[in-house]
Amino acid sequence: MIYSTELIKGTLKTIVLKLLADNKKMYGYEITQRVKELTFDKIQISEGALYPTLHALESEGLLVTEVEYIGKRVRKYYSLSPSGKSKSKEKLSELADFIETMKLLLDLKVKTA
């Protein structure tokens, strides 16, 4: 099952922030691949959603960038700024709380592994 874009959209910022908190610095393609890998292809972040989010996070001051030249092209690496680090914790706990609430609300039986 591949999740709908509506579901992904609300959590994309949190996903990006969490990945960067775990992986120091990453570039766009790497992020999409890592998400695919970690979720066994169930979550596939579209390019059309990822890059606007990355730019927004950067302009909010949560991400800092550095560039690397690969032949004629430029690769932009993203990493968390100090405020991004605290924001990622905040966002994570918010989402965790949200998931708990959704379980309650929708009366989901969550299988515990």
Site residues, other proteins (CB under 8 A): 27-29, 32, 46-49, 51-56, 59-60, 67, 70-76
Contacts for 28 with CB less than 8 Å, ≥ 6 apart: 47, 50, 51, 54, 76, 78
What do you get for the CA distance between the two ends of the chain, in Å? 19
Q: How far is the CB of 86 from other proteins (least distance, A)?
A: 18
Cα–Cα dist 54/73, whole Å: 19
Output the CA torsion sign for 93, 104, 46, 44. Answer: positive
Residue nearer to other proteins on the CB measure, 49 or 95: 49
Residue nearer to other proteins on the CB measure, 75 or 89: 75
Residue nearer to other proteins on the CB measure, 83 or 101: 83
Q: How far is the CB of 110 from other proteins (least distance, A)?
A: 32
Q: How far is the CB of 87 from other proteins (least distance, A)?
A: 14
